[in-house]
Structure formats: C-alpha cells, structure tokens
Amino acid sequence: MIIETIYLPDAPAIPGLVFRPIRGEAEYPALVDLFNAAIEEDKTDELYTVESLANDYAHLDNCDLSTDMLLAEVDGQLVGSARVWWWVNDAGERLYGVTGQVHPQWRGRGIGRALLHWEERRAREIAATHPIAEPRYFQAWIMETQVRRMALLKHAGYTPIRYGFMMVRPNLADVPDEWPMPEGLEVRPVLPEHHRAIWEALQEAFRDHWGHRPGTEEEYLGWLNWPDAQPHLWQVAWDAQSNEVAGMVLNSIFENENERFGVKRGWTDPICVRRPWRRRGLARALIMHSMKLLRDLGMTEAALGVDAENPNKALHLYESCGYRPVKRSFTMRKTQ
C-alpha cells in the first residue's frame, strides 16, 4: 500500500516521523486515544468517544478532512493531529480556526510547532480563494491548563482577546426542592417534534453573544445526532399562550467522564433565554430546576461554561446561583 506523506519544511529531525492526511473513519479510535491522552494531561475535563468524534466529523462546515487535516505519526504510532476550518461571524470577520493535539509523550520536540505552521499555510491557501474585504484572523481556543499549547501559540504571535470560565457549583445538597416558574411559562417534556424549535430558539438567543454567527443546517444535523444528547434531562420552558420556546437549559451527564475523573458532575449547559422573556427570572428558575434534577439523579456538582463578558450578565447570575470559576479559557487570535 502506498502511503501519502507530506513534507513540512520545519519538521523536527525525529527518526520515523512522518506527516500525512487522515485515511478515513478507521483512524477514529486512534484519534480518540490521542485526544483523550492530551485531555487527561491538560486537565480540560472532557472525553471523546469514537461515536462523538464520528458525528462531529460527519457534520463539519467549511472543512474537508482530506485536505484540511494533518496527522503526525512515528513508526506507525499516531502522535499528533491538526485541523483547519473557516467561517464568517456577524461582525463580518473572516476567521480560520486552528486546533491541534500532540501526545504528551511526544511534546517539546517540535511536532506541535510544525503542525501549527502547516495549519497557517493551509489556512492562507484557503483564504486566497476568498474575498479580501473582511478582516482576517487565525483563531484558536485554549484552557489555561494547556500550558504548552498556550506557550506555542503566544510564541507564534497569537494574543488572548477574550476569556471565559468553566464554573462549578460544588454542592447540590442545598438546592431548593421547589422554585416557581415565571407566570405564563411552563417546562414541557422534550419530544422529537420539538427539536427544530429548540434549535432555532437556541440560535436566536445567542445572537447577542460575542463572535456569533448563525448556525448552519449541517450543524443542526450534528446537534440532532449527537450521541451524548440527553433530551430527557433538558429543561425547556414554553410560553403557554404563544406556544413558543422561551428559554432552556440543555442538561447532560457524561458517565464516562465522571468515572474517569472521579466526580459526580452534571452539566447545565447551554443556558439561554430569548429576548422577549428576559429579566423575568426564567434563567434562574430553569437553573434551579436543573440542579434539583441532577441532585435527584445522584450528582453532587453542576458545571457550565460562560463568556466572562457576556452582555446579559450571565457570570453574575451563575455566581448568584452558587457556581464558582475553576478554570479560565481563552480565545486567541493572530492577524493573517
């Protein structure tokens, strides 16, 4: 079998090291092992499964894995990966996402740097086919615990421009058993015929969010088919009179993560309320209902992620509900 390899001018001199495209779904188990090894080392509190990765990759927008993903291997062992994609946000900025991982045992040898430089070259190739009127940036996301990745990005000229928090409410024992919903609103069990309305409400509610862009149909399909989705845990509030979705907390419990990290954690995320129903206490009511639900299912803590500068003062709301910041996340940019 002929194996295509790609020459990188700044590849480190490691015997047996080659860079090549992904060969297809048969490589997903090895990629999951790579990603999870990096996640455990970097303490980013998540895990991949083959099913979740396959769903993600089946519904990518503006990313062709055959040309926009690169793998690094040493003597046939997968040791690193990189991927590029692009989008335009509501502010008219054209952004080129870069994401990569290097196995902890192979860090500090120049593999990550070579992969990042390839990502930037590939993104510039894509950008050459795009209109030139918009501002253009490379963009990456990172947790503060990813110390090596942060150093690599900063050395390459990336600058933090926005930050957020992973927040945890460390105790659910004191969550009230009852919390009133605002008048005229009710939580209903989620049925398959509700999915489109919930998705569209979620997209509309987040249009105030920094960096927002409309969700695509491909992303909807990915969301709809996400193997870890747990609609039976979702708290979705409807306006009884208009029969519209007013707000939601899409709860999840990831048993594999809880077992791996030794916690009993439920995620109360994402949280949103549409504009006409804001400032009525709906978000707080849905959060309280969600935390009680998680407690009744045996969870001892709840977690979520938040933009520190959310325009709707979400950080203040979550702190008042007992959540506390435990890790910072950063959006990093570099002018193309």
CATH fourth-level superfamily of 17-157:
Gcn5-related N-acetyltransferase (GNAT) (3.40.630.30)
Task: With both helix axes pointing from N to C terminus, report the angle between 111-127 and 147-155 in degrees, rounded to the nearest 10.
Answer: 50
| pLDDT tier for residue 3 given thresholds of 50, 70 and 90 | low
The predicted model gives 273-280 an average pLDDT of: 96
Query: Could you tell me the sign of the dihedral formed by the alpha carbons of 283, 285, 288, 294, in that order?
Result: negative
The predicted model gives 51-64 an average pLDDT of: 97
Distance CA 175, CA 190 (A): 23
pLDDT tens digits, 299-308 = 999 999 999 9
Where do the structural domains in the chain lie, given as residue ranges? 17-157, 166-328
Q: Which fold has domain 166-328?
A: Aminopeptidase (3.40.630)
pLDDT for the residue 132: 80
The predicted model gives 198-207 an average pLDDT of: 96
List Cβ neighbours of 96 (8 Å cut-off, separation of 6 or more): 84, 85, 86, 123, 126, 127, 136, 137, 138, 139, 336
Mean pLDDT score across all residues of the chain: 95
The predicted model gives 241-247 an average pLDDT of: 97
Phi, psi of 101 (to 5 degrees): -140, 145
pLDDT for the residue 76: 94
pTM of the model: 0.93
The predicted model gives 153-174 an average pLDDT of: 97
Residue 1 reports pLDDT greater than 50 = no
pLDDT for the residue 45: 85
Residue 181 reports pLDDT greater than 90 = yes
The reply to whether 17-157 and 166-328 are identical in fold is yes
Residue 88 reports pLDDT greater than 80 = yes
Residue 133 reports pLDDT greater than 90 = no
Distance CA 207, CA 177 (A): 33
pLDDT for the residue 311: 80
